[in-house]
Structure 1
């Protein structure tokens, strides 16, 4: 072994071990599957398979010393050297954005439940400790922890980051499968963190003249006020992220009067700000490039804007210059085609989720 170290170095030996691992697994079991939340749809039999075990071993390699996982990484692809694993402090490590940390945790919980293997259990529990440590005293969660300078440290509803954390902790606190292996102390702490998170959601709900409305995609961690993120993501009311927040609140068993009022106010706002008679159309512009435009269509299903002006509820369209625009066509080609400013986010909430929630409340 000493001669190999002299020839390859420690990183070289690590790379050699990674390259040889698939041979012992009967082929490149990992490379055939990309890591995503779709894997969570597999049954317990698959989670006991060789393929699942190879992916899980790869997932654990990406876990940071703090207990989190990086964003925008295919965790099923074994890193060829330690340098391919995002390190604490860089732009991807220890993130709650883009399904990072929460989906790897859900995957490992399924592995621990299906196999009873302690290594998966221990990795998952380190993830729980990470989520608990990342929570602010006011109940919110940032996009990255340890904290990064800039908008990354805001309380982050953007892309469902905080809601996904709370869903995991809710399920941990409940103690049902596949989380039934979690110890009582962590379940209790998860429940406490969940209650603080709900309190943060209620406190950050934006009010207009005392009336409950929706949430911004991110809120200042100290003042709890709506905050800027990227240059085209202003303090505003979110027609996208707010839908996920409302759905989370509607899943709470035995909701308090304040939670009920929060849901009712948010749903009323979602109904009031829907855009009727318009659809987003893809077309080829004069330059021959793919483009998008807003077209009048009385038969189109309702749309919602990603951003609404805080005081007026007018849809906002911002370019990288941070200028408020109220006309979709005034966006640059790059932003108009590179970002979802309009979507059907609220349709299912109004047509299905809210009626079912009201019906359940009336039965209870």
Structure 2
């Protein structure tokens, strides 16, 4: 009997079933499985759904994004090529699924596939689920090897693979960056995927089924665990919480011992080389992967080091608190000396990473050392640079003006830095003068980066161009245009407000922002969620005139007062929602600037917070606390 690789076709996952599965509707029962160790199945063999991993991939026609979905979950968007805003090429015309060409490296990675593409030779080798698909740039033939036999496949000349140089982008080694464009439908079907074209969403959608394996599995998700990767990133394990778990006055001896053991186990998983990268940083997960599970290190997939979404500085704070508690309660941590040494080494590696990743003009990129596209940009958003600076400040200063908690967490580390006897401190060359210089350079950048419009100091941008000597606002994701961002500005103001003995420049930066944010905003409008079955998520969100007196604030504000920066006409500007000369801007995944979120960005306006309240109230509260701390 002829053997074939198990795929959606051999599993009977036809297009009709695919549609049901994509909607999260169970439409078929699969019977007894064959040998789950064997990727080959007899024709028409039926297998247990529980033995399979189901993954759905999608690539948009008009946007620089790919999507991934597990089983019947929601689509998760990310750039087609990490950090870049490059789009698919539709070589046979708009809406023609046969002609979509796009990079697939990261899409296939999400289904355990691997793309090895060599721009110098033109050779492209894709491995997935026991299959090897070999192609060559410019060639209309491909070879599929399933481990038993090799088959030659042909494609039309218009969709032969090619490499495209990405302007101004370099690999880590300094060589030019090329993206490998593959015929998406041809490639997916060659690998056993089912393909449909979603005309309403203007994208190709692909479904794959394959046997479960460690490569396809993810670490255990457990939001109830005290120690998860997301809790590291969100800084949920404060000193007071961790101290409470080992409080001998409130817990019995057995509970304290168990909690100490959990704390150590979590710390060891955090510094495990599988999780902490060699450069000292961590990737972000945004997921509650349980760090108390024995399988974590085996199932975790490494990612690029970043300070985005709380990664790295969040981990560092957690490690510091373990060391602090062990020094305050040595009797409780007796017997864990070897483990504590490993945890401390991970902390110092992270401190070194923070120093190493600062660029020449004083800012920090979102990712380091991976530096492609907007990942290279100096990044304020999602607390990246502000939280990193908070740690640098606490490592080099004994006290904070408005919040002393982190300075207390890092007191033991400052002592080690001053003593210069700790082997890890000596090995990594961590010195007080170095940290002070890093802090001073970062602060100098922040002061210079405050955006001035028509002679008025406003706030700060989400991101800045890393190559410009003077700070220049830059865009991030496709819907994050260069602009002033109140959220990021307030986060940075909190960092500035914590400086003991602030300079005149720091005081002016804080005061200027608070004055500016109180001068902008929208009144007379409200944000409403509206049921809409035509939308992918079944709902829409609009900002509508309702006469409300509640002040609304945009997520982004323009970099001028005329609209010329974004190509707005005078007629368009006359219809902006605000009476202030500082106007709100909006954009969807097409990167087209709008003066209202009601136009051209249906997917984003329901999935992103473009409008918020209390930006002025929150800024004023920080300002008042700061002034009180100054004694003014």
Structure number with greater CO (CA < 8 Å, separation at least 6) is: 1
Match of residue 280 from structure 2? 67
Give SS of 1:65's match.
coil
Which aligned pairs between 1:69-148 and structure 2 lie closer than 5 A? Answer: 69-72=282-285, 74=288, 76-77=290-291, 78=293, 80=295, 84-87=299-302, 92-116=303-327, 117-148=340-371
Give SS of 2:441's match.
helix
Q: How many residues align?
A: 332
Match of residue 219 from structure 1? 464
Alpha carbons 1:139, 1:196 under 8 Å: kept = yes
Give SS of 2:528's match.
strand
Shift of 1:81: 7.5
Query: Which structure has the bigger radius of gyration?
Result: 2
Give SS of 1:39's match.
coil
Change in 2 beyond 3 A, CA 1:56/1:353: same
Match of residue 23 from structure 1? none
1:46 maps to 2:245: yes
1:248 maps to 2:495: yes
In 2, Cα distance between equivalents of 1:253 and 1:58: 36
Change in 2 beyond 3 A, CA 1:129/1:74: farther
Match of residue 160 from structure 1? 383
Shift of 1:107: 0.3
More strand by share: 2
Write out the 4+ residue segments of structure 1 that deviate beyond 6 Å after TM superposition: none
Alpha carbons 1:205, 1:212 under 8 Å: kept = yes
| Runs of 5+ unmatched residues, structure 2 | 1-213, 215-221, 247-258, 328-339, 399-406, 419-429, 562-581
Deviations 1:40-67 (A, max 9, x none): 2513252662221221111111111000
Deviations 1:208-256 (A, max 9, x none): 1332111110000121211121211111111221111112112211111
Task: From 258, 270, 274, give the equivalent of 2:505.
Answer: 258
In 1, Cα distance between equivalents of 2:475 and 2:382: 15
Shift of 1:281: 2.1
Could you state the TM-score of these two structures normalised by the residue count of structure 2?
Answer: 0.49
Match of residue 551 from structure 2? 302
In 2, Cα distance between equivalents of 1:52 and 1:332: 44
Match of residue 277 from structure 1? 524
Which aligned pairs between 1:342-361 and structure 2 lie closer than 5 A? Answer: 342-344=611-613, 346-361=615-630
1:236 maps to 2:451: no
In 1, Cα distance between equivalents of 2:312 and 2:604: 29
In 2, Cα distance between equivalents of 1:39 and 1:329: 39
The range that moved more, 128-137 or 31-40, is 31-40
Shift of 1:344: 2.5
Task: From 173, 186, 190, give the equivalent of 2:396.
Answer: 173
The range that moved more, 39-48 or 212-221, is 39-48
Match of residue 542 from structure 2? 293
| Runs of 5+ unmatched residues, structure 1 | 1-14, 16-27
RMSD: 2.5
Match of residue 40 from structure 2? none
In 2, Cα distance between equivalents of 1:252 and 1:206: 21
In 2, Cα distance between equivalents of 1:353 and 1:156: 22
In 2, Cα distance between equivalents of 1:161 and 1:101: 10
Change in 2 beyond 3 A, CA 1:344/1:105: same
